[in-house]
């Protein structure tokens, strides 16, 4: 009788929680049981492990085999436990002798520095597993000294995690040879990332002619990471401006790029690592699970896929109201929790919301030459999809005027590159001061970094009284004013900064009504 104990990981949202793979081989009628709350994919590993061991020229023991995946209350899914289970069977049956390990004892001391994840084919090959970056990030955070054994097809992506040793395994025979002391598994080399997109390859801001205020607000949004709502008639340039925001944003750090790629891997999308902030633009027919995440086996939604990047919602009132209301908590906390009967998963969702809408269903309300055909009730119903609490959470709210013939003769605007350079300087000033963009300033941070003089405080108080702003709105205005001061290199927030911030939060009560 013998026991082998190895370490693996189970995905739980973006987290990869430790799993102890215990394999016991004992006397009795031949049987192979996998316990520890496995799903169908894990239970089927019995047949894959059996065939892989035989195909590798090894002997499958004719005894009672029990593989326990602990802790037992944590759901286990996918075939990533094939490799540790197969190695555990070979260790427990004595076919693999780890140097320094005595036969008939636990292998835990000898394998304590390794973490295994890999699916086996019937031929004994170790095939690619899903979400290797999420596993690698979790292992590196728990103990960078651990060695992660992954399939060769997945090891290159995981090796991008700094400070982590990743070993690449192509077959079960290679793993057996490594732990028998006969050969060494190669250390995986970090995969070469795709060429980074430079500002020239992204949509350039110089293509936007006219709309000087919108260009200014877009730079403010990029500089402080602020959310933005643009309201205007068709053709005013709302979508055009939104698609040029990625060219203004700072590049992602290595860890941020890895987190974005890890989320893409969990969602089943391509997980190439890039330092370009993600830009997601779901259609307005998207469901709540598609936006916030969910499903029988919860996966990240669009707001998590936009982590460290931009979520653009065009035709905002056309989204279902419950979809829009589901954005409120993630916008405040930077994460989304998906509750199920057996567990609650959390995905990061620190995104920058950019939204666009028409002033009314037909789009021509308030236009100088086009006639609006919408009734007052229809306009109210259209705008009523945007609740007060949701609007309170949007930092910048502007109305774009319709484009006129003068834009054809206007010179090209300032290009994205110099604007991005200014944004980078402004962001660095915020990072040096508080460690994150101004859009994420908390109440305590506002008291510390947004001290107002008498004139600025009076101006903000007058605005709050006139438009019945809540304390949340006042905090949003303060954050924008802090960004405006940083853009000027000013340490203090003055009345001019508060006045401009108020201008970029145009109250809806002043908008014209339909009729």
In angstroms, the CA 78 to CA 151 distance is: 14
Question: If we measure between CA atoms, which residue out of 312, 309, 306, 402 comes closest to residue 355?
Answer: 312
- pLDDT value, residue 223: 96
Domains of the chain: 2-179 (3.30.230.10), 205-510 (3.40.50.300)
Q: Which residues pair with 21 in a beta bridge?
A: 6, 69
Q: Which residues pair with 23 in a beta bridge?
A: 4, 67
pTM of the model: 0.86
Q: Is the peptide bond before 76 cis (omega within 30 degrees of 0)?
A: no
Local confidence band at 130 (pLDDT 50, 70, 90 cut-offs):
confident
The enclosing H or E element of 17 equals strand 15-26
Q: Which residues pair with 229 in a beta bridge?
A: 355, 397
Task: Check: CB of residue 166 under 8 Å from CB of residue 136.
Answer: yes
Q: Which residues pair with 171 in a beta bridge?
A: 125
- pLDDT value, residue 344: 80
Local confidence band at 510 (pLDDT 50, 70, 90 cut-offs):
very low
Sheet holding 64-70, edge to edge: 2-12, 15-26, 64-70, 31-35
The pLDDT tens digits for 442-491 are 999 999 999 898 999 999 999 999 998 989 999 999 999 999 999 999 99
Local confidence band at 509 (pLDDT 50, 70, 90 cut-offs):
very low
**Mean pLDDT, range 350-355, rounded to an integer:** 96
Question: If we measure between CA atoms, which residue out of 243, 275, 239, 269 comes closest to residue 256?
Answer: 275
Q: Is the pLDDT of residue 99 over 70?
A: no
**How many CA atoms does the CB half-sphere of 24 hold within 13 Å?**
11
Task: Check: CB of residue 158 under 8 Å from CB of residue 188.
Answer: yes
**Mean pLDDT, range 86-100, rounded to an integer:** 86
Return the C-alpha torsion angle 78, 84, 44, 263, nearest 10.
0
- pLDDT value, residue 194: 62
In angstroms, the CA 411 to CA 213 distance is: 16
- pLDDT value, residue 321: 92
**Mean pLDDT, range 177-199, rounded to an integer:** 80
In a 3-state reduction of DSSP, which class is residue 166? Answer: strand
In angstroms, the CA 290 to CA 283 distance is: 10
The pLDDT tens digits for 75-88 are 898 899 999 999 99
- pLDDT value, residue 106: 44
In angstroms, the CA 211 to CA 239 distance is: 13
Local confidence band at 508 (pLDDT 50, 70, 90 cut-offs):
low
In angstroms, the CA 151 to CA 68 distance is: 22
In angstroms, the CA 506 to CA 397 distance is: 6
Higher pLDDT, 97 or 151: 151
In Å, how far are 30, 437, 438 from 434, measured between CA atoms? 62, 8, 8
């Amino acid at each position: 009788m013998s026991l082998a104990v190895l370490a693996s990981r189970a995905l739980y949202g973006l987290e990869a929680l430790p799993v102890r793979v215990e394999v016991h081989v004992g006397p009795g009628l031949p049987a192979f049981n996998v316990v520890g709350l496995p799903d169908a994919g894990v239970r089927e590993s019995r047949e894959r492990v059996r065939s892989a061991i035989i195909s590798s020229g090894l002997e499958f023991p004719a005894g009672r085999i029990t593989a326990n995946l602990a802790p037992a209350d944590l759901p286990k899914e996918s075939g990533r436990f094939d490799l540790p289970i197969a190695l555990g069977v070979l260790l427990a049956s004595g076919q693999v002798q780890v140097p320094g390990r005595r036969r008939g004892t636990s292998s835990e001391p000898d394998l304590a520095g390794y973490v295994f994840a890999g699916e086996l084919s019937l031929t004994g090959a170790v095939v690619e597993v899903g979400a290797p970056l999420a596993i690698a990030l979790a292992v590196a955070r728990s103990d960078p000294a651990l060695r992660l054994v992954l399939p060769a097809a997945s090891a290159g992506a995981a090796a991008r995690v700094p400070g982590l040793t990743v070993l690449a395994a192509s077959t079960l025979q290679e793993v057996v040879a490594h732990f028998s002391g006969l050969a060494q598994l190669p250390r995986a080399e970090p995969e070469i990332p795709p060429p980074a997109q430079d500002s020239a390859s992204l949509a350039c801001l110089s293509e936007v002619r006219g709309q000087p205020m919108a260009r200014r607000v877009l730079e403010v949004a990029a500089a402080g990471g602020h959310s933005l709502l643009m309201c205007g008639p068709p053709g005013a340039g709302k979508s055009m401006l939104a698609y040029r925001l990625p060219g203004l944003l700072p590049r992602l750090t290595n860890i941020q790029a890895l987190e974005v790629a890890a989320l893409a891997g969990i969602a089943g999308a391509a997980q190439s690592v890039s330092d370009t902030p993600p830009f997601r633009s779901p259609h307005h027919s998207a469901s709540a699970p598609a936006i916030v995440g969910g499903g029988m086996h919860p996966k990240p939604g669009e707001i998590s896929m936009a982590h460290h990047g931009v979520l653009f919602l065009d035709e905002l009132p056309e989204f279902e109201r419950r979809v829009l209301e589901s954005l409120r908590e993630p916008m405040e906390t930077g994460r989304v929790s998906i509750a199920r009967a057996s567990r609650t998963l959390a995905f990061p969702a620190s995104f920058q919301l950019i939204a666009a809408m028409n002033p009314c269903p037909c789009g021509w309300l308030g236009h100088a030459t086009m006639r609006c055909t919408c009734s007052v009730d229809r306009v109210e119903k259209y705008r009523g999809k945007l609740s007060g609490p949701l609007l309170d959470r949007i930092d910048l709210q502007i109305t774009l005027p319709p484009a006129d013939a003068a834009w054809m003769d206007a010179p090209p605007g300032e290009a994205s590159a110099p604007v991005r350079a200014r944004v980078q300087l402004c962001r660095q000033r915020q990072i040096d001061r508080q460690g994150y963009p101004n859009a994420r300033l908390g109440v305590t941070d506002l008291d510390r970094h947004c001290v107002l003089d008498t004139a600025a405080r009076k101006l903000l108080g007058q605005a709050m009284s006139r438009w019945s702003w809540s304390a949340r709105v006042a905090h949003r205005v303060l954050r924008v004013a802090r960004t405006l001061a940083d853009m000027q290199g000013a340490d203090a927030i003055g009345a001019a900064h508060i006045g401009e911030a108020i201008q970029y939060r145009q109250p809806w009560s002043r908008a014209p009504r339909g009729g």
